Amino acid sequence: MKPDLLKLLDTTPNLHVIVIGEAMLDGYLEGFSDRLCPEAPVPVVTVKNRVYVPGGAANTAVNITSFGGQVTFLSVIGDDSEGLQLKRSLLEQGVSTTDLIVHPGRQTLAKQRAIAASQILLRIDTGTTNAIDGDTEQALIAKLQLVFPQCHAVIISDYGYGILTAKVIDAIAQLQQQHPRILVVDSKNLTVYRHLKVTAVKPNYEQTTQLLKIPPYIPIQNQEISRAEQITPYGEKLLDITGAKIVAVTLDTEGAIVFQGDSPPHRTYTQPTNQSRTAGAGDTYISALTLALASGAATPLAADFAASAAAIVVRKEGTTTCSIEELRLFLSSSSPTPPHSPSPALPLSSSPTLQKNITDTNQLITVIADYRKAGYKIVFTNGCFDILHAGHVSYLNRAKALGDILIIGVNSDNSIRRIKGETRPINSLEDRIQVLGGLACVDYLIAFNEDTPINLIRLVQPDIYVKGGDYTIETLPEAPVIQQFGGVVKLLPFLENRSTTEIIKKIIQNH
């Protein structure tokens, strides 16, 4: 259980969020295919079921309602059957359609998917994608001006299909100047919102590389680095380009990396899922992030909250949402860091009481065997972690990003005394493990009493062994053992001017 995340759930029903953007109708034509079309070499799908749900910005609005928030949804749809179906679907999900503008000259945006044997065979997109006309623009702005002062937060869900015109964006800028609110933007063109005093933006990896004008996946030493590693150095630049206080870059199976001012990047994690028909996870993420920020949560906690909600949605099919009941159950029953808990397919997930701290080496062997069987990459590191500081957090986040599961070997109190002297450790093993366990990047912790973790390494046989400081592979005693099992040694230097020794010196000098 993570109490701080659970407390956030109690704040969402009191929050009013405006969602403005392109409303879409997502359709799923489900059936089977047992023959090819005689006119062309394509499958014939016999439709047995039709499902219609709100999509695009409409799905974001539904997510706000699912979390218990109050939503005002502003958009423009056509006077057509798709528009009627969309309004019906929104009302079924508890979202008012009062503020939807129906324009007889526009066609409602719709995406229909033909599915057979759980495989999407075709998607058909229809609807008007050019900019709304002047009268509609003014009507939309008038509605926005009426509700803006009453809300706690605003989400702009811009798909580039004509709703967020320059005049609408300028109107939001003026309202934000007069009535500052939590303002979160999800757009393919984030630079046009730079002057809005945006609270947060949520680009995905592809959008991020386009913003930075860098190629994806830079090869290093015949290997591709992770997307998180590639993006991490650009945090300050992304904040400058977007003008936002927070930039949350979503990275699919790698989770997300969140930048804010001078703070170290915050990582959240997820695990791969076999579900390939999930749509709208980004809508869930941005909805949860907005509600958490509007409740006053610190950015790392808000990011963990959003990651938890998204972790639920990616295990579902189609365009879907995360309910407040699902999230409460998830946070109550999972390990302290739900964003990167094992997926339901893993044997370990059946044990919700599983703790991060492992005291039995037999349990450690079992845990690792289960993850290996599921195809997960194991990362191992070790250290004293006596007084946890920003250098440690940055180092452990980077270590986690190299694989799927991060296991830390923690020096016992006696081990530290032998290495660093009788005045250390400052914090006991129990306290150090409890603090480390509070980090989202840490999956498991195990203490060792020897001077080196070589015995643990032989048990873990990690895919990647990470070490910090001024080591080289030649001077690292653990390196030959790692290489013996086919593992890779990765050296990650600590942040400059951050060390436990320096902190202790400063304390002594000041007192």
What is the value of pTM for the model shown?
A: 0.69
Contact between residue 427 and residue 384 where contact means Cβ atoms under 8 Å apart: no
Residues 335, 341 contacting (CB under 8 angstroms): yes
Instruction: Report domain extents, the chain.
Output: 3-30+48-332, 352-510
pLDDT in tens, the chain (511 residues): 456 788 888 888 889 999 999 999 999 888 888 888 899 888 888 888 888 999 999 999 999 999 999 999 999 999 999 999 999 999 999 999 999 999 999 999 999 988 887 788 889 999 999 999 999 999 999 999 999 999 999 999 999 999 999 999 999 999 999 999 999 999 999 999 999 999 999 999 999 999 999 887 655 544 556 788 889 899 999 999 999 999 999 988 778 999 998 888 888 876 555 445 567 788 999 999 999 999 999 999 999 999 888 888 777 766 778 888 888 887 776 443 333 333 333 333 333 223 688 888 888 888 888 888 777 889 999 999 988 887 888 889 888 888 889 999 999 999 999 988 898 898 999 999 989 988 878 989 999 999 899 999 998 999 999 998 667 788 888 989 998 888 999 888 765 555 666 676 777 777 6
Contacts of 243 by beta carbon, 8 Å cutoff, 6+ apart = 193, 194, 195, 196, 197, 198
3-class secondary structure, 224: strand
CB 190 within 8 A of CB 242: yes
CATH number for 3-30+48-332 (one of 3.40.1190.20, 3.30.60.50, 3.40.50.10800, 3.40.30.10): it is: 3.40.1190.20
- C-alpha to C-alpha distance for 92 and 98, rounded to whole angstroms: 14
Q: Specify the fold of 352-510.
A: Rossmann fold (3.40.50)
Q: Is 170 a catalytic residue?
A: no
What token pair was written down for 57? 């910005």
Q: Please give the full DSSP string across 173-219, using - where no structure is assigned.
A: HHHHHHS--EEEEEES-GGGGGGG--SEE--BHHHHHHHHT--SS-E
- For 25-57, b where at least 16 C-beta lie within 10 A, e where not — what string? bbbbbbbebeeeeeeeeebebeeeeeebbbbbb
SS3 label, residue 319: strand
DSSP string of 154-166?
Answer: EEEEE-SSSSS-H
Residue 453, both tokens: 């973790």
- pLDDT tens across 438-480, in order? 887 898 999 999 989 999 999 899 999 999 866 778 888 898 9
Q: Which position among 99, 283, 386, 404 bears the catalytic label?
A: 283
Q: Using alpha carbons, select from 463, 373, 455 the residue that is nearest to residue 412.
A: 455
Structure tokens at 207: 């959008």
Coil vs helix vs strand at 123: strand
Same CATH topology for 3-30+48-332 and 352-510?
no
